[in-house]
Amino acid sequence: MSRRLAALLGALCVAGAAALALALGSPASSLVRAVCDVAAVVTLGLVVVPALDVERYRDELAARAARPLVLVSALWTVAELVRLVVGAAEAAGWSAARVGVRTTVAFATDTEVGRAGLVCLSAALVVCVVALSSPRGTRPSSAPGVLAVGAAAIGVAGRSLVGHLSESPLGGMAVAVHALAAAAWCGVLAGLVLVVTHRGRWARVLPRFSQMSSWCVAVLLVFGVVGAAVTLTSPTDLYGTQYGRVLTAKVVVTVVLVVLAARNRAGWLPAARSHRATVDVSRSRSRVELAVMAIALTLAAALAVTG
């Protein structure tokens, strides 16, 4: 039930954020992009999360992550395929229902955006195959685990290099690093919610997650500022352009998220470390943070397709 609740909460947040992005001028395809990005982020989190536990319990945590990883990576694969079809339809000026296999293949092989989408689809498929072939789960340090982590990271960063910042080497690097840092922070927390079921494990993994997330926040803020500086020509762009308005909304949500994470670090982390926080408390704190993360990720996806 808790997994279903987390999935429902995430879906509602993504839908709400997508509606906000549409109101700010983002195209309808931003919803498809958001589903791809959220699925990719959670996939990355699930393949990384066993590394947060101590050596003795990593295989057990990997086994618990195995089934969710299959489901989420399969969703990611399907979403990336739909994204290619929608992209082909937009490029051809048709509705998605009219686009055939030949047009989609031509879009995926002949255009820069299509090739980026094909890379992401391939990455999602690789993770899904690895997950299906490892029913007991994979450690990130094992050969299949390294392959899954690498493929998930490529899938997260691959499309980020295409779009507004692809013409600038500095901007392209900044947006890719920003996307990976955000994916590690958000995805690993989602993975924890999906697989951690007792307070003893929360006491072990949460301090490690907190340390990792601190670095992720620092990296995503620095490189996010660099990416924005490369893209925007004037401070007035933050409210005078569609891109700027979506970026402003994303910045506001990110500030809320950072403040929320700081409060959790000050209160929830010490309680969990000392076994004073119950599983329900830990999951409740995580879900609130994940809800805000889902909104931020959806706005980031909208930003990538907004002119």
Tell me the average pLDDT of the chain.
Answer: 84
Per-residue pLDDT reduced to its tens digit, 203-219: 999 999 999 999 999 99
pLDDT at 160 over 50: yes
Handedness of CA 192, 296, 152, 216 (dihedral sign): negative
pTM above 0.75, yes or no: yes
Handedness of CA 265, 268, 270, 274 (dihedral sign): negative
Per-residue pLDDT reduced to its tens digit, 138-151: 888 888 899 999 99
pLDDT at 71 over 90: yes
Helix axes 30-48, 279-304, angle to 10 degrees: 140
Query: Do residues 174 and 182 lie in contact, with contact meaning Cβ atoms separated by under 8 Å?
Result: no
> Which residue, among 306, 284, 286, 287, has the nearest Cα to 12 in the 3D structure?
287
Give the pLDDT of residue 122.
94
Q: Any long-range contacts for 143-146 (C-beta under 8 Å, 24+ apart)?
A: 145/47, 145/50, 145/62
Among the residues of 93-198, which ranges form H helices? 101-110, 112-133, 143-158, 169-195
Query: What is the rounded distance in angstroms from the CA atom of residue 156 to the CA atom of residue 154?
Result: 5
Between 294 and 14, residue with greater pLDDT: 294
Q: Does domain 2-304 have CATH number 1.10.10?
A: no
Query: What is the rounded distance in angstroms from the CA atom of residue 78 to the CA atom of residue 43?
Result: 13
pLDDT at 22 over 80: no
Between 306 and 234, residue with greater pLDDT: 234
Give the pLDDT of residue 162.
60
Query: Do residues 36 and 162 lie in contact, with contact meaning Cβ atoms separated by under 8 Å?
Result: no
Exposed/middle/buried for residue 198 (C-beta within 10 Å: 0-12, 13-18, 19+): exposed
Handedness of CA 279, 282, 285, 289 (dihedral sign): negative
Query: Do residues 148 and 7 lie in contact, with contact meaning Cβ atoms separated by under 8 Å?
Result: no
Give the pLDDT of residue 150.
94
Per-residue pLDDT reduced to its tens digit, 34-68: 888 889 999 999 999 999 998 888 999 999 999 99
Query: What is the rounded distance in angstroms from the CA atom of residue 58 to the CA atom of residue 39?
Result: 23
- Which residue is associated with the tokens 């889902």? 294
What secondary structure does DSSP assign to 213-259, as a single string? Answer: HHHHHHHHHHHHHHHHHHH-SSTTHHHHSHHHHHHHHHHHHHHHHHH
Between 77 and 240, residue with greater pLDDT: 77
Give the pLDDT of residue 24.
59
What is each CA distance from 56 to 41, 61, 134, 152, 204, in whole angstroms? 26, 10, 19, 25, 11
Domain boundaries, the chain: 2-304
Tell me what the mean pLDDT of segment 179-192 comes to.
93
Between 182 and 299, residue with greater pLDDT: 182
pLDDT at 159 over 90: no
**pLDDT above 90 as % of the chain:** 37
Per-residue pLDDT reduced to its tens digit, 243-289: 888 888 888 999 999 999 999 888 888 988 898 888 888 888 888 89
The separation between the first and the last C-alpha atoms of the chain, rounded to the nearest angstrom, is 40
User: Residue 27 in 3-state DSSP?
Assistant: coil
Between 172 and 46, residue with greater pLDDT: 46
pLDDT grade for 1, boundaries at 50, 70 and 90? very low
Between 178 and 166, residue with greater pLDDT: 178
pLDDT at 234 over 50: yes
